[in-house]
Structure 1
Amino acid sequence: MNSLGFDTAPEDTRIVVAMSGGVDSSVTAALLKDQGYDVVGITLQLYDHGAAVQKKGACCAGQDIHDARRVAEAIGIPHYVLDYESRFQDSVMDEFADSYLRGETPVPCVRCNQTVKFRDLLETAKDLGAAALATGHYLRRTENAGNAQLFRGRNAIKDQSYFLFATTQEQANYLRFPLGDLTKEQTRALADKYNLAVAAKPESQDICFVPNGNYAKVIERMRPGSAVSGDIVDLDGNLLGQHTGIINYTIGQRRGLGVATGTPLYVVRIDPDQNRVIVGPPEALLVSRLTLREMNWIGDNPLDEKGTPVMVKVRSTQEPMAATVFGAPGGWAEVHLAEAEPGVSAGQACVMYDEERLLGGGWIAGTEAPVKIAGIQHQLA
Structure 2
Amino acid sequence: MEHLVNSKVKNIELSGIRKFFNMVAEYDDVISLTIGQPDFTTPEHIKEAGIQAIRDNFTTYTQNAGYIELREAASHYVKEKYQLNYSPDHEVIVTVGASQAIDCTFRTLLEEGSEVILPSPVYPGYEPLIKLAGGIPVYVDTTKSDFKLTADIIKPHLTEHTRCIVLPYPSNPTGVTLEEAELKEIADLVRERDIFILSDEIYSELVYGKAHHSIAKVLREQTVVINGLSKSHSMTGWRIGLLFAPEAVAKHILKVHQYNVSCATSIAQKAALEALTVGIDDASDMKKAYRERLDYVYNRLVNMGFEVVKPDGAFYLFPSINKFNKSSFDFALSLVKEAGVALVPGSAFSPYGEGYVRLSYAYSMDQLVKAMDRIENYLKKNDN
Q: TM-score, normalised by structure 2?
A: 0.28
More strand by share: 1
Between Structure 1 and Structure 2, whose CA radius of gyration is higher?
A: 1
**As a proportion of its length, which structure holds more helix?**
2
- The TM-score, its normalising length taken from structure 1, stands at 0.28
